[in-house]
Amino acid sequence: MLLKVMYQNDKYDMVRPSLLNELILSKKIKKFYRSGGWADIERDPIRGLAGPYVGPERRKQSSLSSRLTLLSKKISHN
């Protein structure tokens, strides 16, 4: 799958997703097209470029991980 990008000179191109971060960080592109429309590099939030996430894990735990957590809580209450 290729992504549509707009360079600083207003020219369009199609690039591999693996190149997108490099193009953003090097400020070679103004925008790229994603499912919700055009993402403006200067204005729109861009996933993964704000640094590491600091906060509680909100992703769903695996069932094994959940069972181990419950088991460790049972053991600590005994």
Q: Is the pLDDT of residue 78 over 60?
A: no
Contact between 4 and 22 under an 8 Å Cβ cutoff? The reply is no
- Kindly report, residue by residue over 43-77, the tens digit of the pLDDT: 988 876 655 556 677 666 556 666 666 666 667 66
What is the percent of the chain where pLDDT is above 90?
A: 46
| 32 has pLDDT over 90 | yes
Read off the pTM.
0.60
| Residue 41, amino acid | I
CA atoms within 13 A on the CB side of 28: 11
pLDDT tens-digit map of 15-27: 999 899 999 999 9
Query: Domain-by-domain residue ranges, the chain?
Result: 1-49
Q: Is 29 exposed, middle or buried (0-12, 13-18, 19+ CB in 10 A)?
A: buried
